[in-house]
Structure 1
C-alpha cells in the first residue's frame, strides 16, 4: 500500500467534515448522509494493508461514524471533532491542535447543565431500585456517573486459550467451570475452581473467602472470563484471586481470535478491547457487566453535553483533548490508548479531566486573592513600643527564621488591604511568640486582637503563656470559652465591647453573636484545618476587614499549601531554636512493654518526666476514658509506686486541668497520663519521654504532634510507640516513617502520600470544591500548569467580566457552589 492511497481516502473523508465544522458548524444542519459516506471510504481503507496502529485508529473511526445520523446537533459537533482528531493522528502531520470543543450558545449551555442533572434512575438499565444502590457511591445524577471513573483497566484485546497463557504474565483467559470445591492447605482451606477449555486446565484459587458465598456463586458448566497473573504450582497453571466475570449463555462460545461468531455490540463492551473495571458496592458485587452497560448508556447520551469554557488557547497550549472526548475515552478507551497511562491516571483523557478540575480550583483561589487585593483594609501604624519591650522581657532571642517571618507579617500589616497570611512551622519552631508580636503591632495601632484555638485546653495553654507577658506591658488578656459561667461571660463581653480588653483568646465561643469587639484589627486562627471556613468567616466579620493570620502546627506539604491556600501568602518558620535536644523514636510490641517501663524509670531517675498518651476516639470516648483512668491507677499502684502519676483528660474542668499542668511543670508529678488533649501547645522542657499507647490507631501528623511535646529542653528525648498486632500496612508505614525522621515537613509529605489530600485536610473543612479526579501527589506538575493559566486569566480579567469568559465564570460558580462569597477567607 502506498501512503498516497490512504491519504486520498483520508482527504475524501475530511472534506465534508471541514465543510460541516467551518464557521462554528454553521453548515452542519444542511449536511446529509455523512454516516454512509464515511462508511463507504472506511470500507475502502479496510481493504488496504496498514500498520497495526493505523488499523486500530481506523477501527476507532468506524465506531465514531456509527449512528452519527441519529445524534442531536451538540453530539454531532463533538463527534465530528473526534473524527477529525483521529484523521489528524492517521495523517501523522504536525498540525495545530484541534479546538477544545465547539462552543455552545448560552441557551444550549444552560440546557446542557440542566440535562446533566438528570437523575441516574432514568438511564436505561437503572430504575428506582438500582438508583438507591448507586447513591451509596455518590452517583445521583448522570454527571455524577460521568465522574465515576474506572478504578482500573484490563487489556482484553487478546483473550487467550489456557495453553497460550505465559507464566509470570498478567493474562485474560476464557473457560468453563469443571469443578468448584474447598481444599485443605497448610492448616486452613482454599477455594479452588478448575477451569477448562479445549487446550487444557487452569486453577483459580482464593485464600480469603466467604465459603457460603463462593459455593453458591459458581456452578459446574458455567463459563467465566478470568484476568490475573499466571503462576505455576506443581506443573499446574494457577491464577490467585483473579478478577472474573460470569459469561451469559447468549455470549460467543470462543475467545476473540479463535473460530466462532464475532462478538456483537453488547459483547464488544466486555471483550476484544481495553475494558474498564469500576469499584463495586453492596448490591452491585460482581456486576461489572451491568455497571459497564449503565456507564456506556450514560456516556453515549450525555458526555457531549459536558463543557466548561476553558479558553481554546489554553487547550492548545496544554495539549488538551475536548472534555466530551475525555469522558468517553476515560470510560471506554480507544484501541490505541496506552494501558499503563490509563492505569496510572495519566492518559490524555485523565489529563484533561484532572486539568479541568485543578484549573477551576486555582481560578477560584486566584479570584479570592484578587478580591482581597481590591478590598480596603487597615493600614497599621506600627510604633514597636510594645514589641521592643516584650523582646527585652523574653529569656531568649528570636531565630533568624522567626525574624524573617515577622518582617513579612509587618510589611503586610502596613499595607492598605487586608492581610491574609498562613504561618506554618514544625513543632516547637516558635509560632506562638511570632503571633503574639504580630498581635502587639495591632494593639500599638489602637486595635484589638482575637486568637481562636480549636480546643479548650489549647486556648487555655495560649492564655496561660500569653497573659503574664501582656500584663507586664500594661495590657489585658481574657480567656473566652463555652465552659465559663454566664456572669463571667457577661463581664467579659462588656469589657471586650468597650475595648478595655486588648487580647481575646478562646475557642469557637469567640464567634458567638453576643461577642462584639470595639475595634478588631487582627484575627489569629490557630490549627487552621480544625475550623470550618464558615467559622473563620464569622470571626472575620467581627471587625471591619481585619487582618487574618492563620497558624498551623501541622506542617502542610508545600504542594498542598500552594493549592489549599493559594489565596494566602505563606510564611514558613523553617528553623528550630538552638540548643534543642534530639528525639529518638522507637516502636515496641505489647510483649516489650516492660522494656518501655524500664526506659521511663531510667529517665525519671535522672530527674526527668514522662507522658503516657492514650487514643481518644469520640465514638467510644467513655470506654477510652475509662482505659486512661484505669491505666493511671495501674501505673501508680503496680508499676511506678515510687513516683507520682497524674491524669489529665478533656472532660476535666478548666481549673482541674490548670492545677494538674501546674503540678507537672513544677515537677510534683513525674508521669502524666493523658488522652490526646495534650496534642498541641503544651511546653514542659523537663519532660524527656513520650509513650504513646495503641500508636497504630493514630494518624501520622498526630503522632508527630505528640512527639513534639518532648525534646524541648537541651537533653536528648525519647518517643516510645507501643503498637498492637494485627495492624494494617498503612499503620505499619506510619510507624516506620516516625522511626526514620523527625522533620515535620517530610512527615507531612508522607502523610499526603499515605492518606491523600482529601482526608488529610478535608475539602469540606477547607471550603474548597470537592475533588473527583485529581490526586495532588500524582498531579503536582499539572497543578502548577493549571495554577499558572488560572492566575494569568485573573490578572487580565480580575472579575471575569469579559464576554468570552461567560461559560468559564458559570462553571466556576457551579463548582464552588457559593463558596466564593468567602473570597477573603483563608
Structure 2
C-alpha cells in the first residue's frame, strides 16, 4: 500500500460518523469514545444473543426464532393474570405471554390465522412452552433471516437502542477499506484468524459465537502488537540514547548505612545493586521499583539518588501530595544528616522567599537533592545538571506531567516507584521491557495486620472497642466508599458516619475526603499526626503513602464495594509502628463472590498475590485506574484473559524491532489507526 492509499484509508477511518439520526448525534460519540468512523467500528459488543436456533432445537432459557401461525387469543380470567396468545409452529403449540398489554394492540399485532416471526427466550411453565414478552414480533416473514442470527449487544444509555447502534454500524461497514496484513502469516494460519477488515465486519455480524471470539482475539492481538511496538520504538528513540556513565564508588553509601536505625532486607540490598548496575550503563536508565506496602521503597530510591550526587549531578523526587513529599523530605534529611549533601523541599506551600533560594540553588548546582510535588515541573524551575528523576506513585501523574520533570535534564535517568503491586502481565503491557526491581520482603519490625470480616449490624460493638483503644492512646481510620449519602444506594457515606461518630468521640474525630482542597487535606492529616484527634473518617484519599506510626486500627465500611488492591492499600495505612494492628472489613449485603474477595484479604498480606487476584476479578483497567494514570486503555484486549496474546505480541515486537527502518512506516500507519493518543 503506497502513501496515497494509506492516506485515503486514514482519511476514511478518521472521518466523522455518517448516517446518525440527529437525536443520537450527541449520545453516540460518548458511548464510542469519539465521533470518528474508527471509534464506531472499534465499539466492541458487550455480548451476543444467539437467535439462530429453531424452536425444536432450543432448550429452556435459550433464545429461539421461528415463524408461527396465530391460533387463539386467551384473555385473563381475573385481574392481574397474564394475557396469552396461542401460536402454532412446526406442529407445536406455545403461549406468547404479556403482563402489561393493550388488548387492541395485541389483536392488531396477532390477527388469528396469520403468520408472524417471533424471537425470544424459551420458558416452560407447568407443562406448557411459552415466551414472555418476545423481543421481536414481526408480520413480515421476509425478515426471518435478518432476525435469526447472532445479535451483538452493545453498552447503551438512555436515548439510544441496540437496534439503532447496529444500524449505524452497518451503514458505516459498507465502505470499510482493506489494510495490508502485518501479522506473521504462520501465526494467522495457526490461530485461524481472518484479515483485519473481515475481523471488524464479523465482530459486528458474526455467523457464530465462536467466530465472534476469533475476530475479537485477532483485533486484540493487533492492539497489543501495536502498543508493544510503540513501547519498543520509544525505547529505541528515547531511552537508548547514550549519555553519561556513572561511576559507582559508594562514597555516601556506607556513611548512610551506618546511621540507619534498621537493617536492609535482602530484597532492598538486591534492588539497590540492580539499580546501581543500570545507572552505570552508558544508556539512559528507565527503571521501575515495585514494592508492597511497607517494604521500604524510599530507602532504595535514596541510594539511587546518592549514586547521582557522588557523580556531581542532581536528583529530584516527585510525590503526588504535599504531605507525602514532606514525609519523604523529613526522613531523607534525617538519613543524610551524617553527610554534606544538601536537600530541600519544594511544594505549593513553600514560602516565596524560601522558594527563590531553592530555585537559585538548583540552578547553580548548590542543591544536591530536591523533593517536592507538582511544583517541581513548573516552567521556572531549572536544574544545573539533573541526573535522576524519581517519580513516586507514578500512576498518579499523567504522562505529560512526568515528562515535564524528566525534560529538565539531558538524558535524565528515571526511576518510577509504585506501592501498588502490578501483576506481571499488566507490567509487561504498561512498560514493555522496562527493567524492574521488586520488593516483596518486609522489614522484620513490621508486624502482620490481623484482618477480620464483620457484619455492619455489629457496628455498636465495634464503636465500643474503638473507644477502648482510643482511650489507650491508639489511633484509627474509618473508611467509607462515598462522601455524601445517596438515597438510591444503601452505602456508607463519610459525612453521615462522621456525624454519628461525633456523638461518641466528640472533637476526637476528624474527616477528610476528595471535596476538600489539597491544603485542607494536608491540614487534616497534619492534625491527625500531631494527635489533635484520634479517629479519622475518610474516603480513599488516604489510600497511598500516609505514614502515621501510632495508627493501629483500620475499619473499612461496605468493604465489598472496593477492589482487592484498594483494600490492601488502605490496610497498609496501619501496622507501621511496633504495636499489633487490626483491619475490620464491614459488609452489608455480601454475595458469594464478594465473600470470596474479602476472604482473600483475611488469608493473605502479599500485595502481589492480591493484585493478581484483583486483576482476575475486576480486569486490568481498574487496578491502576488507567483513565487517571495516562496508561493505555484497550478496546479489544483483556490483559488477564489474553495473557498468551500479550506474550506473543511482546515477543513478536522484540523480533520486529530489528528491522527498525522498515518498521517505522508501517508502525506509524498502524499506530495512528489503533492509538490516536500516540499522534
TM-score (norm 2): 0.86
Counterpart of 2:53 (choices 158, 161, 169) is 158
* Pairs within 5 Å for 1:373-384: 373-384=239-250
User: Which secondary structure does the structure 2 equivalent of 1:471 belong to?
Assistant: coil
Q: Could you tell me how far apart the structure 2 residues matched to 1:395 and 1:736 are? A: 36
1:633 and 2:506 correspond: no
1:398 and 2:264 correspond: yes
Number of aligned pairs? 659
* Pairs within 5 Å for 1:386-785: 386-601=252-467, 603-604=469-470, 608-615=474-481, 627=496, 630=499, 633-637=502-506, 645=509, 651=517, 656=523, 660-664=527-531, 670-713=534-577, 715-724=579-588, 734-767=597-630, 769-785=632-648
Kindly report the root-mean-square deviation, in angstroms, between the aligned alpha carbons of the 2 structures. Answer: 3.6
1:268 and 2:145 correspond: yes
| Contact persistence 1:205–1:238 (CA under 8 A) | no
* Pairs within 5 Å for 1:109-508: 109-122=6-19, 126-138=20-32, 140-160=35-55, 166-167=59-60, 171-172=64-65, 194-198=84-88, 199-202=92-95, 219-222=106-109, 225-228=118-121, 230-237=122-129, 244-249=134-139, 251-252=140-141, 263=142, 267-271=144-148, 273-285=149-161, 287-288=162-163, 290-302=164-176, 304-307=177-180, 309-310=182-183, 312=185, 315-316=188-189, 319-334=192-207, 337=208, 339=209, 341-342=210-211, 346-347=213-214, 349-508=215-374
**Taking structure 1 as reference, are residues 619 and 631 closer, same or farther at Cα in structure 2, changes over 3 Å only?**
closer
Q: Could you tell me how far apart the structure 2 residues matched to 1:205 and 1:217 are? A: 13
1:69 is matched with: none
Q: Could you tell me how far apart the structure 1 residues matched to 2:186 and 2:30 are? A: 39
Counterpart of 1:786 (choices 638, 649, 652) is 649
Q: Could you tell me how far apart the structure 1 residues matched to 2:186 and 2:314 are? A: 49
Q: Could you tell me how far apart the structure 1 residues matched to 2:2 and 2:94 are? A: 60
Measured against aligned partners, the alpha-carbon deviations of 1:496-516 in whole angstroms (never above 9, x if no partner) come to: 222222221111111001111
Q: Give the CA deviation at 1:529.
A: 1.1
1:819 and 2:658 correspond: no
User: Which secondary structure does the structure 2 equivalent of 1:560 belong to?
Assistant: helix
Q: Could you tell me how far apart the structure 1 residues matched to 2:431 and 2:522 are? A: 37
Q: Give the CA deviation at 1:535.
A: 0.5
Q: Could you tell me how far apart the structure 2 residues matched to 1:763 and 1:671 are? A: 32
Q: Could you tell me how far apart the structure 1 residues matched to 2:558 and 2:527 are? A: 24
Computing the radius of gyration from Cα coordinates, the structure with the larger value is 1
Measured against aligned partners, the alpha-carbon deviations of 1:561-611 in whole angstroms (never above 9, x if no partner) come to: 111011521111121222432222233333211221243345456664433
User: Which secondary structure does the structure 2 equivalent of 1:301 belong to?
Assistant: coil
Q: Give the CA deviation at 1:550.
A: 0.4
Which structure shows the higher helix fraction? 1
Q: 5+ residue gaps in structure 2?
A: 110-115, 487-491
Q: Give the CA deviation at 1:426.
A: 1.0
When structure 1 is superposed on structure 2, of 599-608 and 575-584 the one drifting more is 599-608
**Taking structure 1 as reference, are residues 606 and 791 closer, same or farther at Cα in structure 2, changes over 3 Å only?**
same
User: Which secondary structure does the structure 2 equivalent of 1:371 belong to?
Assistant: helix
Q: Give the CA deviation at 1:714.
A: 5.2
Q: Could you tell me how far apart the structure 2 residues matched to 1:476 and 1:436 are? A: 13
| Contact persistence 2:74–2:86 (CA under 8 A) | no
| Contact persistence 1:429–1:576 (CA under 8 A) | yes
Q: Give the CA deviation at 1:814.
A: 4.5
| Contact persistence 2:494–2:539 (CA under 8 A) | yes
Q: Give the CA deviation at 1:399.
A: 0.9
**Taking structure 1 as reference, are residues 373 and 679 closer, same or farther at Cα in structure 2, changes over 3 Å only?**
closer
User: Which secondary structure does the structure 2 equivalent of 1:523 belong to?
Assistant: strand
**Taking structure 1 as reference, are residues 706 and 373 closer, same or farther at Cα in structure 2, changes over 3 Å only?**
closer
Q: Give the CA deviation at 1:543.
A: 1.0
Q: Could you tell me how far apart the structure 2 residues matched to 1:676 and 1:328 are? A: 43
Measured against aligned partners, the alpha-carbon deviations of 1:211-250 in whole angstroms (never above 9, x if no partner) come to: 7xx879974553663333x44344344567x7x533443x
| Contact persistence 2:18–2:172 (CA under 8 A) | no
Q: Could you tell me how far apart the structure 2 residues matched to 1:536 and 1:564 are? A: 15
Q: Could you tell me how far apart the structure 2 residues matched to 1:165 and 1:736 are? A: 40
Q: 5+ residue gaps in structure 1?
A: 1-103, 253-262, 821-826
User: Which secondary structure does the structure 1 equivalent of 2:645 belong to?
Assistant: helix
| Contact persistence 1:686–1:713 (CA under 8 A) | yes
Q: Could you tell me how far apart the structure 2 residues matched to 1:750 and 1:174 are? A: 47
Q: Give the CA deviation at 1:732.
A: 6.3
Measured against aligned partners, the alpha-carbon deviations of 1:24-75 in whole angstroms (never above 9, x if no partner) come to: xxxxxxxxxxxxxxxxxxxxxxxxxxxxxxxxxxxxxxxxxxxxxxxxxxxx
Measured against aligned partners, the alpha-carbon deviations of 1:795-819 in whole angstroms (never above 9, x if no partner) come to: x123xx22x7633432224544463
